[in-house]
Amino acid sequence: MSDSQKTVEPVVIPAVPARPEAYDPATRAALEHIDPKAVRAVADGRPESTRDAYTQDWATWRKFCAASGVRCSLSPPARW
């Protein structure tokens, strides 16, 4: 085999825990600290007009569900 054709050995990376309760306490504490900040940063980066439009869209969706008898199974986001 030439220098340009090297064999690559596969590396198995262990899966990360799928649920927060599977993480160790230090990781959970870090995530609890980071998550609200990330949500706030995204929300703060949206223009007021966008947040207003989201609120209006949600109201329209709820009216549609009520008028058509469709169960509105979604809950509104905590913060736009």
C-beta contacts of 21-27 below 8 A and 24+ residues apart: none
Residues 16-71 have pLDDT tens digits of: 766 767 788 888 888 888 877 787 777 778 888 988 998 999 999 899 999 998 88
Query: Can you give the pLDDT at residue 38?
Result: 81
Query: Can you give the pLDDT at residue 24?
Result: 84
